[in-house]
Structures are given as C-alpha cells and as structure tokens.
Amino acid sequence: MPGPAVWLRMGRDTVEVLVSSHSIPADGSSYATVRLRHEPATDGIVELRLRGAGSFDAHVIRRRIHVPLRSGEGQVTVYAPRRPGETLLTGPGIRRRIRFRPTSWLQGLVCEWAPTLALALAIALVLRSFAFASYYVPSGSMLDTLHLGDVFIAEKFSYRVLDHSPRRGDIVVFTHPDQSGKVLVKRVIGLPGDQISLVDGDVYINDEPLSERYLGRPDWSDFEPAVVPAGQYFVMGDNRSHSADSRSWGFVPQHRLLGRAALVVWPPSRARLLRHIEYDLSPPD
C-alpha cells in the first residue's frame, strides 16, 4: 500500500521539506512517493540515491535512479524492505532520512532489539572473560577486609591482558592449586624469590617483619622459612586463624590467577574500593 508523500523543494544550495511525514511500514510492499520541485522551474534530470534499506524498484534492489523533471517537478517511489531500518535519500541539494518502521511488536523485537541484545551479551561475555567479573565471598577467611556474603568486582585486565604480575598486598581471585573447580580469594603475601616465615603469627619477608594493619584477629601460628618459586605466589587470608591458604596447600602458580579484587559492591553499607597496600620492605635479591 502507498505510504505518505514526501515533498522536497530543490534549490541551488538548500532543500526544504514541505511534508515531514516519512515513516513507511517495513512490510516489503508499502512505498512512499517522493515529489521533487525545483525552483526556478526547469526541465532536466536529477540523480537520486538510497544509502541503506529500501529500493526504487518493487521487484529488485535498486538504489540509484535518474528522475526527469518537467517544469521543475518530478516524482519517484521508494519501496519498503521486509525489515525495519533507515535509508538516506540523497541527490543534488537533497539529504533526507526515510524510516521503515516495524509492522508488529514481534518484527520490532526480532529485527531491532534482538541484534542489540546479542551485541550487549557478546560485550558482557568479553568483559567477563578479559576485564571484570563479580564474585561472592563464601567464608570468613578474609575478615575484616571481606565479610561472608560480600559481593565484589575483580578486574582481570591487568593479569590476563596486560600480563602484569601481582603486587604484594593484592587481594587476588584464583583457582585452587589442587582443585581446579574451586575459586578462592586471598591476599598476596610472598612474591617470587621471597623467603617467607611466620613466628608467633608475625610474617617475615626475607627476615624483615611485615606490618599488616588490615588483620582483624590475632594469630599465633608458625611457618618454617620457605622460598617462593619463580612464577608462583604465597597467599594468605586476613583472618589467619580461620584460613586455609598457602601454609596448608602451597604456592599459587600465576596461571591460576583470575583477577584482582577491586571493588566491594554489596551490601551497600560496605561498598568501597579495595585500595592497594604499600609495605616498607626491601626488594628480594
């Protein structure tokens, strides 16, 4: 069925739309009649083009046409496609968008929303794989920094894309060295090459005491000196007396690191950035 007429006045430098209605049902059969008026009135030929959906022909795709003018006036028909979209009608002094609207909510959902949702889902999957992911704290091993039930965001970009190494004090998410399906969150204490030991709950790095103001509860455990191998890390929970960590199951290889905890988002009362801790220690030899 015919659509609304679109009147254009063609001048030497400008175009004036006389009838602004230019939305056509995207049903494959509707069309809009575009009438052209050139002032001063002269005979001639005008080339028009469609950039996008639609066609100047009802049976084949035709995006370019020469329109004859008689006494300064001409006419052309723009046919709708079978899916919503837009086209740009261009010519000498002409630049006008024509919209092909959905004929039903289902067509609009499939043709307009589905691609947008698919793109959003793809972006979300990429971000989850390489940039950010959310995690739930299942235990109290990181008290008082992370509480049972907290939800936090870990950024993956530094470790997995930029290939940066963790720093001492980073709160890291990783898969268990002996149980690949188990995800844990702990704090990096020992870096590759460090000698780690615990005496009455105090951590020593290369025989220097480590000041840990974030610890919530005292711990009196000991750990015999051990050197962190290359490419691995010694991690511990902040709640030392209730944390299974590198003291019990060993070092964490870098390839098991999933990301660095950066932001607590739930509950709102504890939402905050997890800032990096600076330690006053000499670098390992």
**Whole-angstrom Cα Rg for the chain:** 34
The answer to whether 272 touches 151, Cβ cutoff 8 Å, is no
Active site residue 186: yes
Catalytic choice (156, 186, 243, 246): 186
b/e code 78-105 from CB counts within 10 Å (16+ = b): bbbbebbbebebebebbebebbbbbbee
Active site residue 182: no
3-class DSSP string for 13-25: CCEEECCCCCEEE
Q: What dihedral do alpha carbons 103, 104, 109, 113 form, nearest 10°?
A: 40
Catalytic choice (141, 156, 243, 246): 141
Rounded Cα gap, residues 28 and 84, in angstroms: 10
Catalytic residue list? 141, 186
